[in-house]
Amino acid sequence: MDFDALRKNMVEVQLVGRGDITDKKVIEAFLKVPRHRFVSEKLQKDAYGDYPLPIGSGQTISQPYMVALMTQCLQLNGSEKVLEIGTGSGYQTAILAELANQVYTIERHPDLSKSAENITKELGYKNIYFKVGDGTLGWHEKSPFDAIIVTAGAPDAPKYLLEQLADGGRLVIPVGSEFTQRLMVYEKIKDEIKTNQVCACTFVKLIGKAAWKE
């Protein structure tokens, strides 16, 4: 299969074609990162489709457009320290590693974390730090973060994550019920939090102390 052609088509039709993914660096990152390497061999042919895919442990790799939209909301310029909650396949992690200086990523399923670590190492990323645990608590020792992205749906923005945001930092997170959420951006400006709604979305549950119970 010509994965390069499929990837180029994905970017042209699903990202640029929808009209609202305009950040050139984000577009370049999506052209570069081989999404098919983050799914099982039998799903590789579907890796560039306009939908989420299963990645094991009952979890999913998000639709490419949603990954792009969330990434663009972070407004990265390359110098940032980023925290990601929900490593999953590691695809979003790799996109972030293209666009930021350092990426800290937490996943509650050890097997997903390990395979994401293996594949990103194979692809040559050296600016990603992996942790297995409850991401709703953040990663206190490494805080503050210029940007935090949560790739699972929460009942509310976890307070620990808002606390670990640097001044001027942004938290992007789906917030709502277990079944449907709104993609939210929280921006910290001198200890005040400015809130913005982006769109409706559907994510798997964020499970942890400051989110849903298992």
Could you give the residue numbers annotated as active site?
62
Give the nearest distance from C-beta 168 to ligand SAH in angstroms. 24
Residue numbers at the binding site for ligand SAH (CB under 6 A): 55, 59-62, 85-86, 88-89, 91-92, 106-109, 112, 134-136, 151-152, 204, 206-208
Residue at 13: amino acid letter = V
Between residues 62 and 120, which has the closer beta carbon with respect to ligand SAH?
A: 62
Give the nearest distance from C-beta 139 to ligand SAH in angstroms. 11
Continuous segment of H or E residues that includes residue 184: strand 181-189
- Among all residues, whose Cβ is closest to ligand SAH? 88
66 alpha-carbon distance from chain centroid: 9
Between residues 84 and 146, which has the closer beta carbon with respect to ligand SAH?
A: 84
Between residues 31 and 207, which has the closer beta carbon with respect to ligand SAH?
A: 207
Backbone angles phi, psi at 211, to 5 degrees: -145, -135
Give the nearest distance from C-beta 87 to ligand SAH in angstroms. 6
Residue from 38, 33, 12, 147 nearest 98 by CA: 33
Between residues 186 and 203, which has the closer beta carbon with respect to ligand SAH?
A: 203
Give the nearest distance from C-beta 169 to ligand SAH in angstroms. 19
Residue 166 near residue 180, CB atoms below 8 Å = no
DSSP-assigned states of every residue in 37-93: GGS-GGGGGGTTSSS-EEEETTEEEPPHHHHHHHHHHT---S--EEEEE--TTSHHH
